[in-house]
Amino acid sequence: MNASSLLSDLPAGARIVLVRLRSIGDVILLTPALQMLKEWRPDLKIAVVVESRFRELLEGNPDVDELIEPGSGSGAAKIACRWRAIRALRQRHFALCVNLHGGPTGTLLTRTSGARWKVGFAYYRSRGVYDVLVPDTRKILGREQVHTTEHQAAIFFHLGMPRREIPRARIFVKASSRAWWKEKRASLGVAEGSPYAIVHPTALYPTKQWAAEHFARLGAFLAQEAGLTPVFPCGPGESEVLDGVQRAGNARIVRLEGASLGQFAAAIEGARIFIGNDSGPAHMAAALERPEVVIFGSSSSVIWGPWPCDASGARARIVQNSYSCNPCPGDRCYQFERPECILSVTFEQVRSAVEAVLRNTS
C-alpha cells in the first residue's frame, strides 16, 4: 500500500471517518481540509467524531456527511457511551479512519473503528494501531513554521490529496441561532441595527488572559469614542472574569452568558469587530469573516493566529510582545515570577490595533 495514493485509491462512495474530538480552534481549523477533500472527492462520505459540546461548529457544513459523538459522563455511564460510539463506528464499515486527536480516547476509537486503513501521526503513542504513520508536517510542507490549519491539511496531502492553496475556515450559522440572537440582543439593550463589538476577556490560562482593567478601558473606549456597544461574552464557569471587568470599570457591562456555540456564532456574525484573547472564539470570528484584534501571550501566533493569515493587518491584527521563551505550554509562567508576555501588552497597543482595523474595514 502506497500512502501517497491511499485517498485516490479509495473506491467511489467510500466512507471515511476523522477523529477530531475537540476543541473550538482545532475543530474550526479542520474545516479547510474538509472543504478541499470534498471538492476533490465529492463521492466520499465523510464522518467526523466530535464531542457534543463542539458539534454545532460542524452542523450545516456541506463537507460533512455525518457527526458521531464519542459520549461523555463518568464511570459506568462513560463506558456505556464509549461502547455505543464504537458500535456506531463499526456499523458504518469505514474504509479509512484518520486520528487527528491523538489522545487515549482518539486512539481507542481508531483502534476499534473497524476501518480497513488507520492513519495517525508518527509522534503518537501506540504506533502499532496505525497502518500509516504520517511524518512531521514541517517535512511534508518543507518549512519550519506551520499553522495549525496547515498541520491538519498536511495529513491529507500526505495521503494523496492534491496540494493547493488552503481556503479559509468556515462555520455555518443556523437560522434558529440568528433568531435567538435577535431576541437576546434586544433583551440586552442592543437595538437591532445598532453596531456592537464582541469583546472576549476569557482564556484557558492566565498566561493568555489580558488584564481585566484593560478590557474595562477598552469597553469604555468602544462606547465613548468608536460608537460601538461592547458585548462581553463568557462560557460556562467563566462569569467571574466578567465580574472582574465590571469591578475594574466600576460600571455595568453588557454580558452574554449561557449561549451555545451556535448562538454565540450568531452574535459574532453580526458584530462590527471581535476583540479578545487568543482562544477558540477568535477562530470563530475569523471563520465568520469578522474584523478582529487578537491579543496573544504565551502561545505562538504563527501557529494559532486567525486563519487565513492577514499579512497586511487590514482585517485582522495580532497584538503580541516578543519574548525568547515564547511559545510555552502556558499552564504557568516558566521564565518569570508572573506571565510578562501577556501582562506587558498595553492598552495603547490594543487600542491602536482596534482603531486601525475599524478604519481599514469601514
Instruction: Provide the pLDDT for residue 219.
Output: 98
Asked if residues 49 and 22 have their Cβ atoms less than 8 Å apart, the reply is no
Mean pLDDT throughout 35-62?
97
Give first-to-last CA distance, the chain, whole Å. Answer: 54
Residue 320 makes CB contacts below 8 A (sequence gap 6+) with 295, 296, 297, 301, 326, 341, 345
Domains of the chain: 3-158 (3.40.50.2000), 175-360 (3.40.50.2000)
Neighbours of 249 (CB within 10 A): 18
Give the whole-number percent of the chain exceeding pLDDT 70.
99
Residue 8: pLDDT band (50, 70, 90) is very high
Residue 217 has pLDDT above 80, yes or no: yes
Residue 186 has pLDDT above 90, yes or no: yes
Range list of H helices, 112-269: 137-141, 148-158, 175-187, 212-224, 239-249, 261-269
pLDDT tens-digit readout, 84-115: 999 999 999 999 999 999 899 999 999 999 99
DSSP bridge partners of 48: 18, 67
Q: Which three cell numbers stand for residue 18?
A: 476523522
Give the whole-number percent of the chain exceeding pLDDT 90.
92
Asked if residues 36 and 168 have their Cβ atoms less than 8 Å apart, the reply is no
Q: How far lies 265's CA from each of 193, 207, 290, in Å?
A: 18, 25, 11
Residue 200 has pLDDT above 80, yes or no: yes
DSSP bridge partners of 68: 49
Residue 250 makes CB contacts below 8 A (sequence gap 6+) with none
Q: Whole-number mean pLDDT of the chain?
A: 95
Looking only at the bridges linking them, the beta strands covering 132-134 and 117-121 are parallel
Residue 81 has pLDDT above 90, yes or no: no
Residue 1: pLDDT band (50, 70, 90) is low
Residue 185 makes CB contacts below 8 A (sequence gap 6+) with 191, 192, 196, 267, 270
pLDDT tens-digit readout, 240-284: 999 999 999 999 999 999 999 999 999 999 999 999 999 999 999
Mean pLDDT throughout 145-170?
97
Asked if residues 28 and 40 have their Cβ atoms less than 8 Å apart, the reply is no
Q: How far lies 148's CA from each of 47, 73, 137, 319, 322, in Å?
A: 21, 29, 10, 19, 20
Residue 232 has pLDDT above 70, yes or no: yes
Alpha-carbon Rg for the chain in angstroms: 21
Residue 311 has pLDDT above 90, yes or no: no
Instruction: Provide the pLDDT for residue 345.
Output: 98
Instruction: Provide the pLDDT for residue 231.
Output: 98
Tally of residues, the chain: 362
CA dist., res. 285 & res. 119, Å (int): 31
Residue 327 makes CB contacts below 8 A (sequence gap 6+) with 298, 299, 300, 303
